[in-house]
Amino acid sequence: MFKIVEKQEIAPNVHELVIEARATARKARPGQFVILMADEKSERVPYTLSGWDAEAGTVTLVVIEVGQSTRKLISMKQGDSVAHLVGPLGIPLEIETYGTVALAAGCYGIGAILCIARALKAAQNRVISVVEARSHYLHYYHNKLQAVSDELIQTTMDGSEGIKGHTVDVIGRKLRDGEKLDRVIAVGCAFMMMLTARTTQPHGVKTLVALNPIMVDGTGMCGACRVSVGENTKFACVDGPFFDAHQVDWDELFARKAAYAVEETHSLETTEPHARFRV
Amino acid sequence: MEASVRQLTLTINGRQITAPAGETVLQTALRHGISIPHLCTHPNLPPFGACRMCIVEIDGLRGYPASCSTPATEGMVVRTDTPTLQNLRRSVLELILAEHPSACLVCDKRELCEKYRPKPDKAGRTTGCNTCNNKQVCEIRDLSESIGLTSLPYVPFYRHLPVQRSEPFIRRDLNLCILCGRCVRICKHQHGLATIDYVARGSRTYVGTAFGRSLREAGCTFCGSCVDVCPTGSLAERYAKWYGGGEGSSETTCILCDAGCAIRVVRDKDRAVTARAINEGVPICVLGRFGIPPFLGGKDRLRVPRVRYGLVLREVGWETAIARARERLQTFTGDSFALVCETTASLEDRHVFGRFTGEVMKSSHLIEVTPDACGKSRADLPAGVKAAWLMGKFVEAGKLAGIELLILQDCYPGPLDGLAEISFPAAVLAEIDGTVSQNGDFLALRRACLPPGFARPDWSIVADVARALGATGFTYKSTQAVATEAGLQPGRLRVERGEAPPAAMDPRKRWTHFRGHNLEEKVIGLTLL
């Protein structure tokens, strides 16, 4: 059993969980993820590692409440234990000295790039973190990201804080203005990663995206997470999660992610444990 | 009566139009195809004039009166679309949206987003249109489009209120509420109750119950009218909330009690997802409003015919099941056979049951039980009956001593499954066409969705068995063909319901059973009432 040491809603619908997982915390590397089951009967869901503390033996996850499984997880309390946690999984992000690296993140990705930014900065890169949210109250980790970035740019869709627009607008503008970006890494929803890929492609900037298809075992056995990258079929769990953004078949990824939309909604409506959510 | 209403002549935007006395300027304009943006007003509610979206200019009146609460008068000169009004309306909307998560409305990627994500993504807490259950049917989105909203000048304020998920059927997220008061007013208007009302003052105002009680404790009847009128995603029907407007609908009659309310059942991917009163001016009860889709969509619905092999009922094809019925029923003609159904079954079903029992089985034991005041039916089998075909959960296991053949035809499994030789899955409620007789009235059932798996209408199963047994006739092509043979007059829909059914005013007066099944066991939420 893996105890939830800390849990809080750091922005509306965004939850930060610190979970006791000693072995995972010892081995974790930036860009990796864990697969977690809230209870014995839960679905297995991958969550990107936002951070870890090898000494305390904990991992930190940023979780967005979306469907049945995330709901189960975020309805647990501090001190409760999740049934299973396996990881670290996936190939860690290559950390070298590239020069200037722009990190684009939205949604849970803002949490996910924290450890990436830290590692890239430690490797003498100039790190530009560009984070997006719909509105000012949905931004989180501002101070944490500022501490590990050379430049932190926040965007909002409604213009209530930082630049009005999206991360791609900022990165696109930088590239058009002739700023040299040696690498762009995007973590967030598939839509945002696709837009990033489209924006950087004409400029020929190496761009990596952390793909998030439906995943089951996370160890390369089931093939549920397969994605088309260039001519190849890859498994996001063991070949990824990072892939060359310009090679990804985005339409296929969208279609595969929506494969169980009806079942997901059905499970939500028939099992919402509303009696448990007393306010 | 129409003749006695005085006709007025007025001018709107330079057009001379007439209006019956008593009509508001907004009603007159809309009736003549002149659109005026409006929000807090609702056809089922008396005028209120809170949101100021429908302001107009009227010669001789000071300021900008709300057209929803200004009666039309003789000779009135109204302008609805001057640049001043457009600016004022935009400002009003901008102020309303300062407290409503609406970043998606002014997003510059909106077009591309709609292309890739036309339906909203599910989310525990909604923070924009893209994760809002109301996205596809939202009045705020329509309004912002018609007014041409392009930016949000005020820094939005999010209330950080907890989402209320502990109530049966209704989930409330007051962070999306714009305080139009439609829910407060419809509850007062339809029930004469202040179950919900404005609580607190100023920017902290929210719609809630007195003393923070739950809706149940506050006396809510769960008629769902507040959900019907909510223009935002603030009040949502838990079961239906991610389906938007659905893919289609049919108008039918609710048969979960004998009030016979006309309802519209909405489907998505051929499944029922929500049901509403056709005439939303009069509330329906919790069963009609919230009970039908979860009952029809239950995980343990019977989907496949089953036939006994030794100790187990094994799933088989229809042909095998009908062949087994034929083979076993042959030996039970005469009064050793009985068929048991409820009088609430459709008249088409009962016609075929009657013909089958009398003409094919040569039995006088067609037992049609009338449900009691709770919708419960109890039947006893006459002495000498050795084969019984039960169209629901009406007979207790203890009363089946001496039965050699038991055929069950039902929508859900029951305690008699262990004794049954054959189990047929039946289509029910919004899954069937037909006619029902209620209090001397003939009411129409119209299929709105598909039954689960291989389930079929009751009459068609019995007709198939009749044909297998060599009977002539029973070759109906449709429910209508049965109705024609039975000489049934066409059923109608009871749209104009003078008064709300008793259960809409007090949910404890609802029927508790359908086809012998306790609805509380099938519909999550009823147990919490």
Q: Where are the domains positioned within chain A?
A: 2-89, 100-257
The first and second tokens of residue A74, run together, are 């975020």
What is the per-residue pLDDT across B355-413, written as a single tens digit (0 to 9) for each?
Answer: 999 999 999 999 999 999 889 999 999 989 999 999 999 999 888 888 999 999 999 99
Return per-residue pLDDT of chain A as tens, 279 residues: 899 999 999 999 999 999 999 999 999 999 999 999 998 888 899 999 999 999 999 999 999 999 888 988 998 999 999 999 998 999 999 999 999 999 999 999 999 999 999 999 999 999 999 999 999 999 999 999 999 999 999 999 999 999 999 999 999 999 999 999 999 999 999 999 999 999 999 999 999 999 999 999 999 999 999 999 999 999 999 998 999 999 999 999 999 998 888 788 877 776 665 444 332
Q: Kindly report whether the peptide bond that precedes residue B231 is cis, defined as omega within 30 degrees of 0.
A: no
Min mean pLDDT across A259-268, B241-250, B335-344, B374-383 is at A259-268
Q: Is CATH 2.40.30.10 the right assignment for the domain spanning A2-89?
A: yes
Out of B102, B127, B165, the one facing A274 most closely (by C-beta) is: B165
B228: helix, strand or coil? helix
Please name every residue paired with B505 in a beta bridge, in sequence order, or none if there are none: none
Which regions of chain B carry the CATH code 3.10.20.740? 2-81
Q: Does the pLDDT at position B347 exceed 50?
A: yes
CATH of span B306-497: 3.40.50.740
Quote the CA–CA distance of B242 and B127 in Å, as a whole number.
15
- Is it true that domain A100-257 has CATH number 3.40.50.300? no
3-state class (DSSP) for residue B434: strand
Residue spans in chain B of domains classed CATH 3.40.50.740? 306-497
d(CA B362, CA B333): 6
Q: What is the pLDDT of residue B487?
A: 94
Q: Which residues of A43-75 are buried (b: 16+ CB within 10 A; e: fewer)?
A: bebbbbbbbbeeeebbbbbbbbbbbbbbbbbbe
Interface test with A, best of B107, B132, B247 (most A CBs within 10 A): B107
> Chain B window 86-105: which residues touch A at a Cβ cutoff of 8 Å?
101-104
Q: Which of B97, B105, B115, B121 to mutate to test the interface with A (most CBs of A within 10 A)?
A: B121
| Chain B (143-172) residues lying within 8 Å, Cβ to Cβ, of chain A | 151-152, 155-156, 158, 160, 162-168, 171
> What global pTM score does this model have?
0.90
Residues 289-308 of chain B with CB under 8 A from chain A are 294, 297, 299
Q: Are B446 and B251 in contact (CB under 8 A)?
A: yes
Query: Looking at the domain B2-81, which fold is it?
Result: Ubiquitin-like (UB roll) (3.10.20)
